[in-house]
Amino acid sequence: MENCAVVGINWGDEGKGRMVDLLTEQYDIVIRYQGGGNAGHTVVNEKGSFALHLLPSGIFRDGKVNILGNGVALDPENLMAEIEQVRSQGVEVTPDNLKICDRASILLPWHREQDELEELRLKDRKYGSTKQGIAPFYSDKYQKKTVLAGEVFYPENLRQHLLDILEWKDLTLEKVYGAEPFTEEMLERWVEESLMRIKPFVTDTVGYLEKAHDEGKSILFEAQLGALRDIDFGIYPYTTSSNTLAAYAPVGSGMPYAKVDRVVGVVKAYSTCVGEGPFVCEMEGPEADRLRKEGAEYGAKTGRPRRVGPVDLVATRYGTRLQGATEIALTKLDVLSYMDMIPVCTEYLIDGRVTEEFPFPDALENAEPVITYLEGWKEDISEVRRFEDLPGAARRYVEYIEEKIECRISYVSVGPERESIIIR
Ligand code: GDP
């Protein structure tokens, strides 16, 4: 049995969803192991075009089991809306192909509101949160102030547990933010209308996976966001609130004993970043507008225009190392086809010193990108399926990145569709 993690090397939105959709064919079980519904994966395949937020991207493959692991931020309301959405597009989602870990913590109805209140309080110092409640959720999880999905099977305990948390949370809402408190009635309505709807999917996935592991089933671990958003090693505090790294996959999936044999790190052929925080290679003006338009760089969840820039080899090398990537999938190479010369950020200039090392977050404020230009290819490559059929300049671009980040690029994607892929 071989296990594989598909992870982001940069700031997220690298195209992990399309890679999971493709690679699921080779695996038995797909597990989303961290994060919540705050970012989106776009997947295009023979069943249609889908915007996924929390559902694992293996959901489209018949006969595969998809799991939401203990590490995710499980928002029942949004999850059920997402399930309804993909069902309406003809995809079957049943307790046979979707299982929710009974140890997953639940994102409670006040987390989204608290997220929004905090961003409002911060005003121009805000983090650029997607306001999906992820930061309050994870901080409450580690304060042991949320409930587990499996508590749906113990309704009396669940009720009391929630009331205890409500009493505590209302202190924050009222006294810190001057907001309206949540009431018992609101909570009861949420339990009936949202939380209880996930019950058919909730099960002991830890036990299920132990058995699957013993039977030699292969696992694909699916991450959200990218290495630079990792809570410990990313651009703190402009990170997400969980570990986006492959190293966390076994824990967040409920298989702490599992080995991750293969790590496919997903890198976009240029850089994008959503929200606030340092983004050294950022481009501005008409050049940025054109790249944003060519790459359709608008958030899947928020519709926000993404910040864009050239591929950042300093950040990408750092992300590749953090992820322990054994190979790289380079996505959206087709988007660069319009450029005469392609900018690449090779180093940072920090306080008069040129470096290839990604620095401590505070040093990023003074970092400037060192840019080199590579020759463009100026032709449509979206129909190319073999590496040797790419124009020479496109091959050189891929090989240049590969050499600089010291990791083999084994997939090059040239379009959003499942089949728009070059396997080297
Ligand atoms: P994820 O969160 O890492 O899965 O990434 P997103 O789904 O947020 O962003 C990737 C976007 O690029 C999606 O809209 C994909 O459909 C699209 N995409 C992925 N690979 C390619 C590619 O090779 N070429 C083009 N043009 N679009 C792609």
Instruction: DSSP for 168-232, please give it.
Output: HHHHIIIIIT-PPPP-HHHHHHHHHHTGGGGGGGEE-HHHHHHHHHHTT--EEEEEEEEGGG-TT
Concatenated DSSP letters of 87-121: HHTT----TTTEEEETTPEEPPHHHHHHHHHHHHH
Q: Domain check: are 215 and 248 in the same one?
A: yes
Please tell me the predicted confidence (pLDDT) of residue 275.
82
**Gyration radius of the chain over CA positions:** 22
Q: What is the CATH number of the domain that holds 28?
A: 3.40.440.10
* Closest by CA position to 137, among listed 231, 221, 209, 6: 231
Is the model's pLDDT at 1 over the cut of 90? no
Q: Is 32 in the pocket of ligand 1 (CB under 6 A)?
A: no
Q: What is the CATH number of the domain that holds 151?
A: 1.10.300.10
- Which domain range does residue 191 map to? 109-198
Q: Domain check: are 293 and 175 in the same one?
A: no
Is the model's pLDDT at 43 over the cut of 80? yes
Both tokens of 379, joined, read 């032709």
What 3-state class would DSSP assign to 35? strand
Is the model's pLDDT at 159 over the cut of 90? yes
Q: Domain check: are 331 and 277 in the same one?
A: yes
Is the model's pLDDT at 169 over the cut of 70? yes
Domain boundary among 178, 198, 218: 198
Tell me: the pLDDT tens digits for 187-215?
Answer: 999 999 999 999 999 999 999 999 999 99
Please tell me the predicted confidence (pLDDT) of residue 154.
97
Beta bridge partners of 271: 309
**From 7, 13, 21, 380, mutation site for ligand 1 pocket: most ligand atoms within 8 A of C-beta:** 13
Q: Is 15 in the pocket of ligand 1 (CB under 6 A)?
A: yes
Please tell me the predicted confidence (pLDDT) of residue 198.
97
**Helix/strand number for the chain, H first, E second:** 11, 19
- The reported pTM is 0.95
The residue-averaged pLDDT of 17-40 equals 92
Are 38 and 12 within 8 A, CB to CB?
A: no
Q: What is the CATH number of the domain that holds 358?
A: 3.90.170.10
User: Helix 134-142 vs helix 109-122: angle between axes, to the nearest 10 degrees?
Assistant: 110
Tell me: the pLDDT tens digits for 384-400?
Answer: 999 999 999 999 999 99
Please tell me the predicted confidence (pLDDT) of residue 23.
94
Q: Is 272 in the pocket of ligand 1 (CB under 6 A)?
A: no
What total of structural domains would you count in the chain?
3
**Long-range interactions of 230-235: CB distance < 8 A, separation 24+:** 230/322, 233/322, 235/277, 235/278, 235/361, 235/364
The residue-averaged pLDDT of 28-56 equals 90
Q: Most distant CA pair in the chain: distance in Å?
A: 66
| Annotated catalytic residue 41 | yes
Please tell me the predicted confidence (pLDDT) of residue 122.
82
Q: Domain check: are 81 and 124 in the same one?
A: no
Q: Domain check: are 171 and 289 in the same one?
A: no
Domain boundary among 198, 228, 245: 198
Tell me: the pLDDT tens digits for 58-103?
Answer: 999 999 999 999 999 999 999 999 999 999 999 999 999 999 999 9
Please tell me the predicted confidence (pLDDT) of residue 204.
98
Please tell me the predicted confidence (pLDDT) of residue 328.
98
CA of 356 to the centre of ligand 1 (A): 27
The residue-averaged pLDDT of 164-170 equals 96
Higher pLDDT, 60 or 126: 60
Please tell me the predicted confidence (pLDDT) of residue 301.
64
Please tell me the predicted confidence (pLDDT) of residue 123.
82
Q: Domain check: are 334 and 419 in the same one?
A: yes
The residue-averaged pLDDT of 291-295 equals 96
Q: Is the dihedral of CA 194, 197, 201, 204 positive or negative?
A: positive
Please tell me the predicted confidence (pLDDT) of residue 125.
76
Q: Domain check: are 155 and 44 in the same one?
A: no
The residue-averaged pLDDT of 388-413 equals 98
- The minimum-distance atom of ligand 1 relative to the CA of 420 is 23
Q: Domain check: are 123 and 220 in the same one?
A: no
Q: Domain check: are 177 and 254 in the same one?
A: no
Q: Domain check: are 194 and 119 in the same one?
A: yes
Domain boundary among 214, 236, 264: 264
Question: Across the chain, what does the average pLDDT equal?
Answer: 95
- The minimum-distance atom of ligand 1 relative to the CA of 44 is 16
Q: Which of 21, 41, 75, 334 is catalytic?
A: 41
Q: Domain check: are 78 and 26 in the same one?
A: yes
Q: What is the dihedral of CA 327, 356, 398, 275, to 10 degrees?
A: 80
- The minimum-distance atom of ligand 1 relative to the CA of 295 is 26
Is the model's pLDDT at 421 over the cut of 90? yes
Both tokens of 414, joined, read 């040239």
Distance CA 374, CA 393 (A): 8
Please tell me the predicted confidence (pLDDT) of residue 300.
63
* Closest by CA position to 226, among listed 306, 126, 117: 306
Q: Is 13 in the pocket of ligand 1 (CB under 6 A)?
A: yes
Tell me: the pLDDT tens digits for 304-315?
Answer: 789 999 999 999
**From 7, 13, 18, mutation site for ligand 1 pocket: most ligand atoms within 8 A of C-beta:** 18
Q: Domain check: are 324 and 386 in the same one?
A: yes
